[in-house]
C-alpha cells in the first residue's frame, strides 16, 4: 500500500507540473515565438537557444499567478481520488440492505453480501431470471427501456418463508448503462398485521372446543351434579386439564407467531448440538420417568457444532423428544442418536429421535407437520396436545435450511430425523 501511495503522489506531482505548463500555454507560446524570432534574425548559438527555451519552460511551470486556482484544482483532484479509491464494491458492502448492480441486459454485475446471502445470487446471473414476480419484471423492464429512470414496487413471496420487499430500481448516473436495485425488507411490518389476524383466527377456532366442554361441565355442576361429590371431583379434573390445554395452546401460538415475526435467523456463532440435546433430555427426564419411558443416547464420536440459534434448536428437540415420550410411551424407551453424514455433498449433522410406540400410519406422515393436525384427536387431547409442536419444528428447521424426515411402521414406532447442514 505504502509503495503504491508514494507512486501515486509522484504521479500527482508530475501531473501538476504538466498542468501548470498547460495553464501558461499562451505565455509559453509567445515566449517561444519571441526566442525563435531572435534566434532566426540574430543568429545566436544553438546552446544558447536551448538554454533560453529551458529557462522559459521552468518559469512557466513555476508561474505564480495561477497558484490559487491550481491548489484548488489539486484539492479537487485529491478529493475525487479519495472517493475513487473507495471502490463501488466497498460502498455496496457497507450497505446492509441487499444491493445489486446490473447492466442493460439485466445481467448482474455486482451483488453485495446481503444480496448474495438473501437471494443466493451470483455475478453473471440474469436478474430478470431470478426475480420473476410480474411486478418486479415490469419494473426492471420500465427502467431498462428508459421509460423511467427509477421506480419501486412492493413484492411478496411466500416460500420458503414469507417475505415482503420494497424493490427500487434506478439508472446509475448518465449513460453508464448500469442500473441499481435495492431491496428493503418490509416483512416485519406486514407480518405484525398478518400475525394478529392469524392469531385471532387460529386461537378462536381452537379454543372453541375446550371452552364448550368447560361450559358444559359448569352447567352440569350447577345442575344435575350439584350434590355429587365424586362427579364434581372428576369434572373439575377435566376442566383443569382443558384450561391447561388452552394455556398451552396460547403459548404455542405465540411461539409460532414470534417465529414468523422474525423470519431471518440470528445465528449465534457455533452451537453444540450434543449439548443442546443433553439439556433437553435433562429437562424432560421427569416427564419421561412419569410416563415410564427411558431415554437412551447413541451419540457417535466427534463434535457436533454448527452455526445456529440455540433457543430455537432447543425447541426443536424438545418437541420431538416430548412427542416420542408422549405418543411412544408404550414402547418403554426412546433413543436419541447423533451422527455426521458420510460422503454426502454437503456435510450434515443428523439427529434421530426414535420411539417404539404405535407409530404413525403412512397417510398421516406427510400431514403431521401441518398446524393443528392431530392423528387421533382423542388421544392427543387426552395428552394435552395442541397439534402445533411439529409445525413449530418445521418452521424452525426451514429457517435453518434443515429438513425433517419421518419414518414409521405401524406398531413398531416412529423415527423423526433432523438433517442440519453444517456451513
Binding residues for other proteins, rule: CB under 8 A, are: 105-106, 119-120, 122, 125-126, 128-134, 136-137, 158-160, 205, 345-346, 362-373, 394, 397-398, 401-407, 421
CB under 5 to 8 A by kind: which of Mg ion, ligand ATP, other proteins, none does 407 bind? other proteins
Q: Report d(CA 411, CA 338) in Å as an integer.
A: 24
289 phi and psi angles, rounded to 5 deg: -60, -40
Cβ atoms of residues 365 and 408 within 8 Å: yes
Binding mask 268-307 for ligand ATP (x = CB under 6 A): ----------------------------------------
Closer CB to Mg ion, 167 or 276, in the complex: 276
Say which residues have a Cβ less than 8 Å from residue 245's Cβ, sequence separation at least 6.
210, 381, 384, 386
Closer CB to ligand ATP, 168 or 386, in the complex: 386
Closer CB to ligand ATP, 70 or 406, in the complex: 406
Task: Tell me: does residue 324 bind ligand ATP (CB under 6 A).
Answer: yes
As measured in angstroms, the least distance from the Cβ of 252 to Mg ion is: 9
300 phi and psi angles, rounded to 5 deg: -80, 170
**∠ CA(178), CA(184), CA(185), 5° rounding?**
145
Task: Tell me: does residue 355 bind ligand ATP (CB under 6 A).
Answer: yes
Cell digits of residue 19? 498542468
CA 99 to chain CA centroid, Å, is 14
As measured in angstroms, the least distance from the Cβ of 255 to ligand ATP is: 9
Cell digits of residue 143? 427502467
Residues pairing with 99 in the sheet: 182
Q: Report d(CA 304, CA 340) in Å as an integer.
A: 8
Q: How many residues does the chain have?
A: 423
The residue from 92, 387, 400, 404 that contacts ligand ATP (CB under 6 A) is 387
Cβ atoms of residues 180 and 172 within 8 Å: yes
What is the β-pairing status of strands 163-171 and 178-185?
antiparallel
- Burial zone of 42 (CB within 10 Å; 0-12 exposed, 13-18 middle, 19+ buried): exposed
Task: Tell me: does residue 323 bind Mg ion (CB under 5 A).
Answer: yes
The residue from 185, 252, 318, 348 that contacts ligand ATP (CB under 6 A) is 252
Closer CB to other proteins, 199 or 373, in the complex: 373
Cβ atoms of residues 338 and 353 within 8 Å: no
Cβ atoms of residues 326 and 383 within 8 Å: yes
**For Mg ion, which stretch binds (CB under 5 A), given 193-201, 261-269, 381-389, 407-415?**
381-389
CA gyration radius, the chain:
37
CB under 5 to 8 A by kind: which of other proteins, ligand ATP, Mg ion, none does 414 bind? ligand ATP
As measured in angstroms, the least distance from the Cβ of 320 to other proteins is: 12
The residue from 143, 350, 389, 404 that contacts ligand ATP (CB under 6 A) is 389
**For ligand ATP, which stretch binds (CB under 6 A), given 14-22, 175-183, 253-261, 378-386?**
378-386
Task: Tell me: does residue 328 bind ligand ATP (CB under 6 A).
Answer: yes
CB under 5 to 8 A by kind: which of Mg ion, other proteins, ligand ATP, none does 106 bind? other proteins
CB under 5 to 8 A by kind: which of Mg ion, other proteins, ligand ATP, none does 388 bind? ligand ATP
Q: Report d(CA 282, CA 187) in Å as an integer.
A: 37
The residue from 183, 389, 391, 415 that contacts Mg ion (CB under 5 A) is 389
CB under 5 to 8 A by kind: which of Mg ion, other proteins, ligand ATP, none does 380 bind? ligand ATP
Strands (E), 142-215: 150-157, 163-171, 178-185
Q: Report d(CA 115, CA 328) in Å as an integer.
A: 45
CB under 5 to 8 A by kind: which of other proteins, ligand ATP, Mg ion, none does 155 bind? none
The residue from 102, 143, 385, 396 that contacts ligand ATP (CB under 6 A) is 385
Cβ atoms of residues 210 and 246 within 8 Å: yes
Q: 3-class DSSP state for residue 366?
A: helix
Where on the chain is the footprint of ligand ATP (CB under 6 A)?
252, 319, 323-324, 327-328, 355, 357, 360, 368, 373-376, 380, 385-391, 414
Where on the chain is the footprint of Mg ion (CB under 5 A)?
323, 389
Amino acid at each position: 500500500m505504502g509503495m503504491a501511495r508514494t507512486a501515486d503522489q509522484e504521479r500527482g506531482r508530475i501531473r501538476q507540473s504538466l498542468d501548470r505548463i498547460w495553464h501558461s500555454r499562451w505565455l509559453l507560446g509567445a515566449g517561444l515565438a519571441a526566442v525563435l524570432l531572435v534566434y532566426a534574425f540574430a543568429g545566436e548559438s544553438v546552446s544558447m537557444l536551448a538554454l533560453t527555451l529551458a529557462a522559459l519552460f521552468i518559469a512557466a511551470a513555476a508561474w505564480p499567478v495561477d497558484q490559487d486556482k491550481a491548489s484548488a484544482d489539486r484539492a479537487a483532484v485529491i478529493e475525487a481520488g479519495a472517493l475513487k479509491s473507495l471502490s463501488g464494491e466497498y460502498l455496496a458492502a457497507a450497505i446492509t440492505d441487499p444491493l445489486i448492480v446490473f447492466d442493460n441486459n439485466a445481467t448482474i454485475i455486482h451483488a453485495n453480501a446481503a444480496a448474495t446471502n438473501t437471494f443466493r445470487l451470483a455475478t453473471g446471473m440474469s436478474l430478470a431470471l431470478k426475480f420473476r414476480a410480474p411486478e418486479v419484471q415490469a419494473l426492471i423492464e420500465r427502467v431498462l427501456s428508459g421509460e423511467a429512470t427509477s421506480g419501486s414496487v412492493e413484492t411478496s413471496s411466500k416460500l420458503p418463508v414469507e417475505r415482503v420487499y420494497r424493490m427500487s430500481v434506478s439508472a446509475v448516473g448518465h449513460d453508464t448503462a448500469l442500473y441499481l436495485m435495492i431491496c428493503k425488507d418490509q416483512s416485519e411490518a406486514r407480518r405484525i398485521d398478518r400475525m394478529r389476524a392469524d392469531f385471532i383466527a387460529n386461537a378462536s377456532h381452537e379454543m372453541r372446543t375446550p371452552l364448550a366442554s368447560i361450559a358444559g361441565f359448569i352447567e352440569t355442576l350447577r345442575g344435575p351434579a350439584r350434590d355429587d361429590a365424586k362427579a364434581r371431583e372428576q369434572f373439575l379434573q377435566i376442566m383443569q386439564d382443558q384450561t391447561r390445554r388452552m394455556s398451552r395452546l396460547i403459548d404455542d401460538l405465540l411461539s409460532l407467531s414470534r417465529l414468523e415475526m422474525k423470519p431471518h435467523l440470528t445465528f449465534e456463532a457455533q452451537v453444540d448440538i450434543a449439548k443442546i440435546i443433553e439439556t433437553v433430555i435433562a429437562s424432560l427426564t421427569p416427564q419421561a420417568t412419569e410416563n415410564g419411558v427411558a431415554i437412551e443416547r447413541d451419540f457417535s464420536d466427534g463434535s457436533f457444532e454448527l452455526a445456529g440459534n440455540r433457543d430455537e434448536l432447543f425447541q426443536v428437540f424438545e418437541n420431538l423428544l416430548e412427542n416420542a415420550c408422549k405418543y411412544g410411551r408404550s414402547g418403554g424407551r426412546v433413543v436419541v442418536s447423533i451422527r455426521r453424514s458420510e460422503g454426502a455433498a454437503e456435510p450434515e449433522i443428523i439427529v434421530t429421535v426414535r420411539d417404539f410406540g404405535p407409530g404413525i400410519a403412512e397417510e398421516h406422515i406427510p400431514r403431521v407437520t401441518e398446524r393443528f393436525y392431530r392423528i387421533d384427536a382423542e388421544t392427543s387431547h387426552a395428552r394435552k396436545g395442541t397439534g402445533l409442536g411439529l409445525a413449530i419444528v418445521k418452521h424452525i428447521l426451514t429457517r435453518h435450511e434443515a429438513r425433517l424426515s419421518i419414518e414409521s411402521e405401524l406398531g413398531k414406532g416412529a423415527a423423526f430425523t433432523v438433517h442440519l447442514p453444517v456451513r
